[in-house]
Every structure is written in C-alpha cells, then in structure tokens.
Amino acid sequence: MRCPNWLVPGSRFRVPGSLAVLSAAAVFVAALTTAVLAGTADSPAADHPQAAQTAPKPATPQTTKPATPPTTVAAAPQAPPTPQAGYVGTEVCATCHTGYDTSINASRHGLIKHPGSPAAAQGCETCHGPGEAHASDPEKIKPKQFNKISAKEVNATCVTCHNKGEHALWKGSQHEARNVSCISCHSIHKPMSTTSQLKAMNQQGTCITCHRDKVAKLDKSGHMPVREGKMECSSCHNPHGTTNVKLLKTGNTVNEACSSCHAEKRGPWLFEHAGINGEGCTTCHDPHGSSNDRMLVAKLPFLCQRCHNHTRHPATIYDNKVVQSSNRLFSRSCVTCHSAIHGSNHPSGSTFLRQ
C-alpha cells in the first residue's frame, strides 16, 4: 500500500508521502532541541551542581610568542699576543721586513691558535729575540741573524720547540756532531718543498748536497723506488738522530731495518746462511742502488765466489778451460740450484736447495 501524496505546509506542491513524513519528523526534532536549549540557558549553574562540576571550562586561547632566533656572535679574528717588555710585535717587524710575515703565516709557524707555534708567543721575536732595541736603532743593533751565527746557536734556538718525537735524539746525533745546523736543510721563510720546509724540492735534492754518492746510486738500474715517488730518504733514515747505526728509523741493525719490509727474508731459519747476522744484508746488497740484478754488489757467480772460493765449486770456474762449458756463468748462476739463499727450514736444506 503506497503512502498518499501530502501537501507540505508553506508549499504549494504535493510531495510523496514518505518524504512528507521525514520532513515532519525533522521539524519536530528541531522544535524539541530549541526548547531544551532554552530551558538550560534559563536555569543558573547553581541549581545543577553536577552540571557545574562536569561542564568543561572554555579554553583560553594561548598566545604563543614567536621563537627568538639564537644570536650568533661572529668570532673575531684572534689578535696576536700583546708584546712583553723589550718586544715590539710582528706588526712592527713587518713594516720594514715586508713579505716575511706572509711567508710565516703560510706555514705551521704562523698558526696563532697553536700554543706551540712562534706566532702564539712573540711572533718574529720568538726566534730572533727581543726587537725593541733593533727598532730604535736598526743600523747599529741587529737581532739574531741565523745565517751569521754558529750552527750550535741555530740548533739551540730550534730545539727549544723541536725537542720531541723524531727530533728528541738530535743532541749527540751524527749530523749534530758534524756541525750540521737546522738551516742547512730547512728554510723557514723560503721553503721549496710542500712538506717539512726543505730548501730543495724534495728530500732527495736536500740529501744530495752532502751524500752525493748515495743519491747517485738511485739512478742505477737496480734501485729503491725513490725516484718513482714511492719512497724517500726518511723511509729508512731519521736525519734528526736515532739510537742505532746509520740513522736508521727501525731496529738496531741493518738487518732489522731491512726485515721491517722484507719480512719473508727475516727467518728464523733451521739452516741459516752464514754471515747474514748484523750487517749481512749489505754484504750482498747495496740498499741505495746497483747495476746488478736484485741490487747485488756484484754479478753472480762472482759475488758468491768472494766467500765460496775453495770448496764445493772451486774458483777454477773462471779458468779459460772451463768457462766455455760451465753453466754457472749464465742465467741465475748459483741460485739456480741454491734458491733458498737467505735460509732454509727444510730438513734437507743445509745446502739451501729447498725452502
């Protein structure tokens, strides 16, 4: 059974019965809600304590202050220390000696923030001495001039700071005993190298001023990879002093220095080649360079025949009668058979035929 069409109050159109019912219900709910709200507004909160307790308080809008950005104080450049009595400061020195302050600032000596640098102390006067008297009379009074004082005085000035680490053993070292000064190798104001402030472009150019024979060997066919840039003189030596021979950085003997890289030749061996202890490596090898294979001091078999000249394989190998047929003059010669020449741990390795 279908609902009849009804005329909605206030409208001149007929609508379906179901829609009219819904409209009437909406009007009733609206009227009821208005009445309830009006009654609640007329009654004070004191008449309804529970309502007063449960009624939520209106939220008070909080005013949030905009966050104040942190104040960034730009770090002011650190000024040089205040000169003490008798000192005038680097600025006064630079008025006449132009350019020297710039060269110092480009090196580690010019690091003001480093407490051990001259710049953190008295600047130029840390090394050259107080300059107030020199500034008042530049012609008659001179500061400490390193190119005009003795090597002992130069070294005494430098070791006031450079007295630790690799410089700790400078006093009494071979170079110090031979009157070599710090400025013999280093230049404070006009260095040519990128490291260590050397007077030459590299260590090889610095050492050749005295050790010409050793540096010249680096140009031979058998040589350490110094000229290739893989090593330098200080890879094996410490020119500022050591507790061993030949200013070696590692060990107390030449063998210990060599075995720090050539560990496979170190041993210990069950059968040890006689003479390899102590200076044994340099008995057969020249560490700076050689024209022979494996940097040997002589060609094989002549190198071996220096010791083994009267037993086993006698020296008659050099005779004209034998030289035409002996196979010990070619290829690897002695080490063709005696391959474990540095030593052997094999039970049958007494003649170094097996490793």
CA dihedral 333, 339, 341, 343 (to 10 degrees): -170
234, burial (CB in 10 Å: exposed 0-12, middle 13-18, buried 19+):
middle
H-assigned helices in 12-124: 17-42, 49-54, 90-96, 100-105
Q: Which of 151, 74, 160 is nearest to 109 (CA)?
A: 160
- The Cβ-side half-sphere exposure at 220, using a 13 Å CA radius, reads 20
pLDDT for 30: 76
Give the 3-state secondary structure of residue 6.
Answer: strand
Query: What is the number of alpha carbons within 13 Å of residue 210 lying toward its C-beta?
Result: 10
Confidence bin at 230 (pLDDT 50/70/90): very high
Selected residue with higher pLDDT from 4 and 285: 285
Q: What is the percent of the chain where pLDDT is above 90?
A: 32
**pLDDT on residue 157:** 93
The reply to whether omega before 268 is within 30° of 0 (cis) is yes
Tell the residue number behind the tokens 């009804």, with chain if given.
6
Higher pLDDT, 7 or 81: 81
Which residue type occupies 267? G
Which pLDDT score is estimated for 38? 66
The DSSP letter of residue 295 is G
Q: What is the pLDDT of residue 321?
A: 60
pLDDT tens across 302-341, in order? 888 888 876 666 555 555 666 666 666 666 678 888 889 8
The predicted pLDDT at position 202 comes to: 92
What is the rounded distance in angstroms from the CA atom of residue 157 to the CA atom of residue 175?
16
pLDDT tens, position by position, 153-199: 999 999 999 999 999 999 999 999 999 999 999 999 999 998 899 99
Cα Rg, the chain, nearest whole Å: 47
For the segment 43-100, what is each residue's pLDDT rounded down to a tens digit? 444 444 444 444 445 444 455 455 555 554 444 455 555 667 788 888 888 888 888 8
- The mean pLDDT value for 277-301 works out to 87
Torsions phi, psi for 7 (to 5 deg): -100, 115
Average pLDDT score, the chain: 79
Distance CA 294, CA 258 (A): 14
Q: What is the mean predicted confidence (pLDDT) over 254-277?
A: 86
| SS3 at position 272 | strand
Sequence-separated (6 or more) residues with CB below 8 Å from residue 317: 301, 305, 323, 326, 328, 329
Confidence at 210, pLDDT banded by 50, 70, 90 = very high
pLDDT band for position 132 (cuts 50, 70, 90):
confident
97-123 pLDDT, tens digit per residue, is 888 888 888 888 888 888 888 888 888
